Amino acid sequence: MTEIRQPSPRRGTNLPRMGDFNLTVILDAIRRSTAGLSRVELAQIVGLSPQTISNISRRLLDQHLIIEAGKEGNGPGKPRTILQLNPSGMYAVGVHLDPAVTTFVVLDLVGAVVKHSRINTPGGSDPAAVIATIAGEIKKLVDESGVDASKIAGLGVAAPGPIDLEHGTVVAPPLLAGWDRVPLRDALAEATGLSTLVDKDVTSAAVAETWAGGPSGSGSFVFMYMGTGIGCGIVLNDELVRGTSGNAGEIGHIVVDPDGPPCDCGLRGCVKSSCIPQVLVAQAVEAGVLEHDDAGDSGAASAIQNSFAKLFEAAEAGNSTAAEIIDRSAVLVSRAVAVITNTLDVERVVFGGPFWNLLSERYLNRIPELLEGSSAARQIHGIEVVGTGVGEDVGAVGAACLVLEHTLAPRSQRLLLEG
Amino acid sequence: MTEIRQPSPRRGTNLPRMGDFNLTVILDAIRRSTAGLSRVELAQIVGLSPQTISNISRRLLDQHLIIEAGKEGNGPGKPRTILQLNPSGMYAVGVHLDPAVTTFVVLDLVGAVVKHSRINTPGGSDPAAVIATIAGEIKKLVDESGVDASKIAGLGVAAPGPIDLEHGTVVAPPLLAGWDRVPLRDALAEATGLSTLVDKDVTSAAVAETWAGGPSGSGSFVFMYMGTGIGCGIVLNDELVRGTSGNAGEIGHIVVDPDGPPCDCGLRGCVKSSCIPQVLVAQAVEAGVLEHDDAGDSGAASAIQNSFAKLFEAAEAGNSTAAEIIDRSAVLVSRAVAVITNTLDVERVVFGGPFWNLLSERYLNRIPELLEGSSAARQIHGIEVVGTGVGEDVGAVGAACLVLEHTLAPRSQRLLLEG
DNA sequence: GTAGGGGAATCCTTGACTGAGATCCGCCAG
DNA sequence: CTGGCGGATCTCAGTCAAGGATTCCCCTAC
């Protein structure tokens, strides 16, 4: 399709934008430091003058986003006052809308989970009812958490793709019948009264890493989301890559095994058809490692999870066939990762997602070496491979982080004037 | 390899940066308009006040980067004075260092070629001698072009990858013996006295598209460089993606044909082993479409080019086997493109490079449809597929555009304070 | 001549930068 | 134990520079 798209012109910037941006830069520096920073250290790090740091610090203190947390003086002279994030300065609500379970979290400013809950995603094909249920659960969660409602910056929703970022809709997700182009963002915003953001689950996970993942969440990296499917979130130079419509990170049809099983796309050995949990479980059943009990049927998410866990137990117990299936999947996944890292030349790959706990040990043993071997830039720099520190609620945590990121992260977009 | 990389902290911004940035924004808006813009139009487009536009216009006029080009008044009132780029306001020199030929261009501010020349890349394994030859050729070219030396902003060099952007070196290019980690940037800067930038050839081509490619060079797109190999340049939201070390765009080992020939990476049917010109020519020879004359031997670049052209002549003349080989390569290339566009969710794919002239008709007939079918976001937006307007010198033109882009493009990086 | 739009001069606001002063603490001598 | 000294941190005024708002002048069409 060759449609005409009028170029969205570059916008200028002005003083207030600059001030706001510098504020977020300083907040970001404090956030990324483990134990807080003094004003002098901040001046060195962000390159602004000490006075500017002082002024902005005051604004941040007034907004209760940071606090003065003691002093640190080892030498002579006035000790430095340490500035730290005030965890209770702001909160965000996150919802991970998954076909099987819907997870809710309330996050504080440092990215810690204040309260979380989980419900089975209501079935049926009536999105309006589901949205009402979700809104009710959010209200309940916020009430129980005891958080001051005025300090809640907003609501983030992580949904399975594809989505339409501009309109805040989910577009025909495979496992949610009747959800074609439901205006999820606007409906939830109205039902909860919170300003709402919708994004893809894998994108949200990557944002969780930048916000709550520590040092591995900075710079340029790819977040490999190991869930029911495999997707990735992309962060380049500390800024998220969402794509034109918010659908970046669709890697399910990268061919990783020329000898693999046929895929619905017409090729063979795609990621989607050769290394997602459902396929590995099926392989295990066929090889006789797992019973053909509840695993093979409709493929309910929890059943897959159970069978997948059993596969790893078998491998742990010494079943070499099970180990082989898993290790082979590591090889395949590493090939997909290599395609992405070679295309984008990132410095790090972060693994995470609901199934990562099971995979981590074996994958981290094998993938770094495999990746090194197929990296186009291996003569210039290595590629760090790590597992995320954010736990299994990464989808919902990431959803809440969408709000924090949108409100407080130093995005260069923030500098530009709006249309 | 899991190395520790200290996070490069976010920097703040200040007033002078802001002023410079707004200047580049305005210049960019004028550049992207086909027939120039008035101050009032500029104010609407970039969002700044008319007075700021006026002030910045004055600065640009003082620097002779823009000129007032007549008036336009159809209704009542004072007619608008049209501001246009002054082509002779700035120049840049570009060199495309290819294993076979080295191309030189002098570019003016609008991206038009003022003067160009071409030499066979000196053989032998003495980079110093080659660099001296190049520097001499640059000097000659600049002299002959009659351009005021003080108006030359710098020298851009497009080199085959991999490169080390930080050090400005080329790292072991496959076809340039003895060129391991040669400090190309510094050597040429010293030899010519010009401030010098080095980048990958495919990246340069993408920059050429943003600077001289018209409307198809804006927004987010992937530039598919069809040369001796196939690589891509990536532009997201009007900013180039270079990657950590400048090596983004290595897509040679994306598997596009599970039934394809084995590749040195251990898989089968990679881009590199199934759809580059050399492979298509070999297929044609095997199928009896082409003679096994000079094509099959050492694979000299010019020989490949000749044979490749003959293949297209045959197809044009009605040889169905030749047409099949070419059309099949379009299918394979479209698969690689689909992997990239699904990963990055861009709005456009731009094809170009030395072999594009031959490919364009058949590829443009087939690839849009193929891509549409395998696009993950096809329900949200289509993907524009176009050929570049920049001609066969795209490597050298892009190299020169590297300088213009670095000097004049509104990169958000420009706003941030330096370390 | 009048109306209406474009462009420039002037003043204002705001943000960061510069230099001087106040604050705080450890150290050392009496 | 106490008070002065020194060093580093932080803050207070003043300056600079950029964009914003208002006003005025100029130009053209009717």
pLDDT in tens, chain A (419 residues): 334 345 566 788 988 889 999 999 999 999 988 888 898 889 988 989 888 999 999 989 989 999 988 777 666 667 888 899 999 999 999 999 988 889 999 999 999 999 999 998 887 778 888 899 999 999 999 999 999 999 999 999 999 879 999 999 998 777 777 788 889 999 999 999 999 999 999 999 999 999 998 889 999 999 999 998 999 999 999 999 999 999 999 999 999 999 999 999 999 999 999 999 999 999 999 999 888 765 444 456 678 888 999 999 999 999 999 999 999 999 999 999 999 999 999 999 999 999 999 999 999 999 999 999 999 999 999 999 999 988 888 999 999 999 999 999 999 888 998 76
- Residue type, position B138, single letter: I
The CA–C1' separation of B43 and D23, in angstroms, is: 19
Say if the Cβ atoms of A344 and B248 lie within 8 Å.
Answer: yes
Please say whether the beta carbons of B216 and B386 come within 8 A: yes
What torsion do the CA atoms of A56, A57, A63, A67 make, to the nearest 10 degrees? 170
Rounded Cα distance between A26 and B8, Å, is 14
**DSSP three-state, residue A21:** helix
* Least Cα separation, residue A403 to chain B (angstroms): 20
Rounded Cα distance between A163 and A156, Å, is 14
Please say whether the beta carbons of A165 and A245 come within 8 A: yes
pLDDT score, position A302: 74
pLDDT score, position A35: 82
Per residue in B361-379, pLDDT tens?
A: 999 999 999 999 999 999 9
- Residue type, position A32, single letter: R
Q: Has residue B73 got a pLDDT over 80?
A: no
Give B340's contacts in chain A (Cβ within 8 Å): 343
Q: Mean of the pLDDT values across residues B223-233?
A: 95
Q: Mean of the pLDDT values across residues B388-407?
A: 93
Rounded Cα distance between B287 and B323, Å, is 12
Nearest by Cα to B363 from B214, B205, B217, B224 = B224
pLDDT score, position A348: 97
Rounded Cα distance between B36 and B84, Å, is 5
Report the residue of chain A nearest B261, measured CA to CA.
A258
- Residue type, position A61, single letter: L
Q: Any idea which nucleotide's C1' is nearest the CA of A17?
A: C15
> Do β-strands A230-236 and A239-241 pair in parallel, antiparallel, or remain unpaired?
antiparallel
Domains in chain B: ranges and CATH: 15-85 (1.10.10.10), 90-209+396-415 (3.30.420.40), 214-389 (3.30.420.40)
Give B2's contacts in chain A (Cβ within 8 Å): 368, 382, 384-386
Please say whether the beta carbons of B179 and B170 come within 8 A: yes
pLDDT score, position B284: 94
The CA–C1' separation of B352 and C24, in angstroms, is: 66
The dihedral through the CA atoms of B413, B414, B416, B417 has a sign that is positive
Say if the Cβ atoms of B415 and A419 lie within 8 Å.
Answer: no
Nearest by Cα to B199 from A207, A391, A309, A345 = A345
Rounded Cα distance between A318 and A307, Å, is 17
Angle at A241 (CA atoms; ends B402, B223), nearest 5 degrees: 40
Does the CB of A49 fall within 7 Å of any strand D atom? Answer: no
Rounded Cα distance between A306 and B208, Å, is 53
- B175 in contact with A, Cβ within 8 Å: no
The CA–C1' separation of B18 and D25, in angstroms, is: 30
* A positions 343-402 inside 8 Å of B (CB): 343-348, 368, 372, 374, 376-377, 379-386
Q: Any idea which nucleotide's C1' is nearest the CA of B17?
A: D18
Q: Residue A313: how many CB atoms within 10 A of its CB? A: 12
Report the residue of chain A nearest B340, measured CA to CA.
A343
The dihedral through the CA atoms of B173, B175, B180, B181 has a sign that is negative
Please state the φ and ψ torsions of residue A42, each to the nearest 5 degrees.
-60, -45
Rounded Cα distance between B371 and B376, Å, is 10
Strands (E), A227-355: 230-236, 239-241, 348-352
Please say whether the beta carbons of A186 and A192 come within 8 A: no
Q: Mean of the pLDDT values across residues B157-186?
A: 87
Q: Has residue B417 got a pLDDT over 80?
A: yes
Q: Mean of the pLDDT values across residues B332-356?
A: 97
**DSSP three-state, residue A107:** strand
Report the residue of chain B nearest A410, measured CA to CA.
B10
pLDDT score, position B3: 41
* A positions 18-47 inside 8 Å of B (CB): 18, 21-22, 25-26, 28-29, 32, 45-47
What residues form DSSP beta bridges with A262? A268
Say if the Cβ atoms of A247 and B347 lie within 8 Å.
Answer: no
- A241 in contact with B, Cβ within 8 Å: yes
Does the CB of A76 fall within 7 Å of any strand C atom? Answer: yes
* Least Cα separation, residue A64 to chain B (angstroms): 21
Q: Which residues contact A40 (CB under 8 A, 6 or more apart)?
A: A50, A53, A80
Which of A380, A381, A416 should we substitute to test contact with B (largest number of B Cβ atoms within 10 Å)? A380
Q: Has residue B2 got a pLDDT over 70?
A: no
B102: left (phi over 0), alpha (psi -120 to 50) or beta: beta
The CA–C1' separation of A78 and C23, in angstroms, is: 8
Among protein residues, the one whose C-alpha sits closest to the C1' atom of D29 is B76
Q: Residue A266: how many CB atoms within 10 A of its CB? A: 11
Nearest by Cα to A344 from B32, B203, B110 = B203
* Least Cα separation, residue A276 to chain B (angstroms): 18
Mean pLDDT of chain B: 90
Nearest by Cα to B230 from B336, B315, B99 = B336
- Residue type, position A366, single letter: R
Per residue in B229-276, pLDDT tens?
A: 999 999 999 999 999 999 999 999 999 999 999 999 999 999 999 999
Report the residue of chain B nearest A241, measured CA to CA.
B344
**DSSP three-state, residue B72:** strand
Q: Any idea which nucleotide's C1' is nearest the CA of A18?
A: C15
Q: How many CB pairs under 8 A join A and B?
A: 265
Does the CB of B78 fall within 7 Å of any strand C atom? Answer: yes
Please say whether the beta carbons of A209 and A227 come within 8 A: no
Which of A343, A369, A371, A408 should we substitute to test contact with B (largest number of B Cβ atoms within 10 Å)? A343
CA A231 to chain centre: 11
Per residue in B280-313, pLDDT tens?
A: 999 999 999 888 765 444 456 678 888 999 999 9
Does the CB of B70 fall within 7 Å of any strand D atom? Answer: no
Say if the Cβ atoms of B380 and A164 lie within 8 Å.
Answer: yes
Q: What kind and span of H or E run contains B225? A: strand B221-226
CA A54 to chain centre: 33
Please say whether the beta carbons of B390 and B209 come within 8 A: yes
Strands in A196-200's sheet, in edge-to-edge order, are A113-120, A101-108, A91-97, A152-159, A196-200
- B249 in contact with A, Cβ within 8 Å: yes
pLDDT score, position A1: 37
Among protein residues, the one whose C-alpha sits closest to the C1' atom of C7 is B54
Rounded Cα distance between B137 and B243, Å, is 31
Give B44's contacts in chain A (Cβ within 8 Å): none
Report chain B's terminal Cα–Cα distance, integer Å. Answer: 27
Report the residue of chain A nearest B368, measured CA to CA.
A1
* A positions 66-105 inside 8 Å of B (CB): none
Give A13's contacts in chain B (Cβ within 8 Å): 18, 21-22, 25, 415
- The b-or-e profile of A399-409 (16+ CB within 10 A means b, else e) is bbbbbbbbbbb
Report the residue of chain B nearest A216, measured CA to CA.
B7
Please state the φ and ψ torsions of residue A280, each to the nearest 5 degrees.
-65, -40
Please state the φ and ψ torsions of residue B186, each to the nearest 5 degrees.
-70, -40
Q: pLDDT band at residue B386, thresholds of 50, 70 and 90?
A: very high
Q: Which of residues 307-346 of B touch strand C (CB under 7 A)?
A: none
Does the CB of B16 fall within 7 Å of any strand C atom? Answer: no
Rounded Cα distance between A350 and A224, Å, is 6
The CA–C1' separation of A15 and C12, in angstroms, is: 14
Angle at B62 (CA atoms; ends B59, B65), nearest 5 degrees: 85
User: Encoding tokens for residue A260?
Assistant: 């693999």
Q: Any idea which nucleotide's C1' is nearest the CA of B19?
A: D18
